[in-house]
Copies of this chain bind each other. A is one copy, B any other.
Amino acid sequence: MSLYSEIFYSKEVNSLFSNHNHISKMLLVEAALAKAQAEEGIIPKEAATIIEQCCNVNYIDLEQLKNDVHLGGNAAIPLVKQLVRIVKNNDFEASKYVHFGATSQDIIDTATVLLIQEYLHWVQGKTHQLKSILLELTKSHRETLMMGRTLLQQAKPITFGLKTAGWLEALHRTDNRLEEAKMRVLSIQLGGAVGSGNKRITAEVKQTFANLLGLSDAFTWQAHRDNFSEWASVLSILSGTLGKIAKDISLLMQTEIGEVYEPAAPGRGGSSTMPHKRNPVICAVILANAMRTPNLTATMHSSMIQEHERSAGLWHAEWEVLTQLMALTAGTVEKSIELLSGLEVHPERMLHNLELTNGLIYAENVSLALAQKMGKIQAHELVEKACEIAIRDQKHLKQVLLDQSVDLADLDSYFDPKNSIGQSISFVDSIIATYENQL
C-alpha cells in the first residue's frame, strides 16, 4: 500500500504513526503506570525508576515484536514480554513490577490516546493555518464578482469572498468540534483484566497515572468506544468540509469555466501532449480521501457493539481503521493548505462567465423594476418574451429590451453584477470582523 504514501498522506503524520512512535507511546504508558504505583506506595520507588529507564523504544526488537504479535492477538503482550526481560537484566526485583496489575488493553488504548493527543496538536495547528489562509482569501476577494451556482447551473452573482467565507465558517465549526471532542477523548484507560481495578490499580493510582500523562482520569471505557467513534466522526467531518472545498475548486477549474486553479508546479497536473490541461491533481487526492473517511467512520460506529468487558473482534477492528482515518485526514489537511495557499484566482474569467447567458441572469431585476411601472403581470410577460427572443437570437437581453424601447432610465444598472450580489459584502464583512481578532 505504501506506493501511494506520497500521494494521499502527510509525511509528518505517517511518522507519528510509525511502529517506532507507536511502541514509544506504549512504553510511556508502562513507565507512567510504574511511576504512579510508586507514588502511591504500591511498588518500590527504585523499581519504578528502573522500569522507567528501561521503557525506551531503542531497547525493543521491533521485528521480533511484529512476529510475536499474532500469538497473543495484540501488541502489548509481546512488548511486555520484552520489557520484562530488559528490566530483569537490570534488576530482577524491579521486573516483578512491570505492567503491574494492568491488562493489554490498558496499554494499547492509553497509547492510542497519546497518539491522538500528539495528532490533535498537529491538526489544530494546521486548521488554524487553514483558517488564516481562508481569512486572507476572503479579505482579498470580498468584492470579486462571480457567478453563484446551484444544481450546477448559473444562478445569481455572488462574490468569491462570500464563497470563501462559507468555507471558513464551516472549518471553524469543526475546529470547535475538535476542541470539544478533545475534552473527552484525551482520557486514560486503566482498569486491569475486567475494568474493575485491583489492589495495584486503585482510584489513586489512576488519578496519578492520568496526571503524569497529561490526560483526564476516567471510568474504564474498555468496551465503550463512544469517544473513539466521536473522534472518527469529527475527523470525517473535517475531511468532508475540505472535500467540499476541493470539489468547488475542481469544478471551477473546468476548461469551460476556468475561474480558479490549484497552484501549478513543474511536472504536476500538466500534460506535455495536452498543453491546455490543468488537472486538479491536489483536488483529486482530497476528494479521494473524502470518499474513504465516511465509511471508515461507519466501521468505527459499527464496532461500538462490543461484548461484555472486552470484545472478541470489534476492538481489534478499530486499530488500523482509526489510524487510517487519522492518516487520511492528515493528508487531506496538508494538501488543502497547499491547495488554498497557492490558489490562483482569475477575476477576469469570472466576469466573463457572468456574461455567458447574455444577461438572462438579470431578468428578474428588470422584471421587478418594470413591475412598479406597469404592474407585475405585464412586467413579467414583457420580460419573459424578451428572454425568449434573447435565447432564440442569441442576443443580449439588454439589447432586446433596448430594441423594444423598454422605458427604464437606469437599464444599465440592472445588468451590473455589482447590483445583484445582495448582501454578499456585508455578510462577508461580518465574517472578516469575527475572525480578524481571533486569527
Contacts and interface: CB of A to CB of B under 8 A. Distances in A.
A250 B152 CA distance: 7
A307 interface: yes
A220 B169 CA distance: 9
A247 B307 contact: yes
Contacts of A253: 152-153
A159 B154 CA distance: 26
Given A253-B153, A303-B291, A158 B309 contact: yes
Contacts of A72: 267-268, 281
Interface in A206-257: 219-221, 223-227, 229-230, 233-234, 236-237, 240-241, 243-244, 246-248, 250-251, 253-257
Contacts of A421: 196
Contacts of A324: 1
A364 B194 CA distance: 14
Contacts of A426: 197, 202-203
Contacts of A285: 70, 73, 313, 316
Contacts of A132: none
Interface stretch (A28-36, A120-128, A270-278, A407-415): A270-278
A47 interface: no
A287 interface: yes
A423 B287 contact: no
Nearest to A293: B301
A286 interface: yes
A405 B315 CA distance: 43
Chain A interface bracket (under 10, 10 to 19, 20 to 34, 35 or more): 35 or more
A155 interface: yes
A333 B356 CA distance: 34
Interface string A313-328: 1111101110110000
A353 interface: yes
Contact of A430 (B4, B203, B256): B203
A44 B69 CA distance: 54
B422 A192 contact: yes
Interface stretch (A50-58, A82-90, A170-178): A170-178
A196 B427 contact: yes
Contacts of A156: 193-194, 196, 274
Contacts of A226: 170, 173-174, 237, 240-241
Interface in A143-202: 147-159, 162-163, 165-167, 169-170, 173-174, 176-177, 180, 184, 192-199, 201-202
Given A152-B280, A224-B244, 12 more contacts: A1-B17, A7-B70, A71-B265, A72-B267, A158-B196, A166-B223, A166-B224, A173-B227, A177-B180, A229-B236, A230-B233, A294-B297
Nearest to A360: B276
Contacts of A422: 192, 194, 196-199, 201
Contacts of A387: 275-276
Contacts of A357: 255, 276
B169 A221 contact: yes
B356 A150 contact: no
A99 B268 CA distance: 19
A297 B299 contact: no
B427 A203 contact: yes
Nearest to A219: B169
Contact of A304 (B167, B241, B251, B424): B241
Contact of A229 (B199, B229, B240, B314): B240
A312 B317 CA distance: 21
B224 A230 contact: no
A201 to B, nearest CB: 7
Nearest to A273: B364
B196 A162 contact: yes
A152 to B, nearest CB: 5
Contacts of A250: 151-152, 312-313
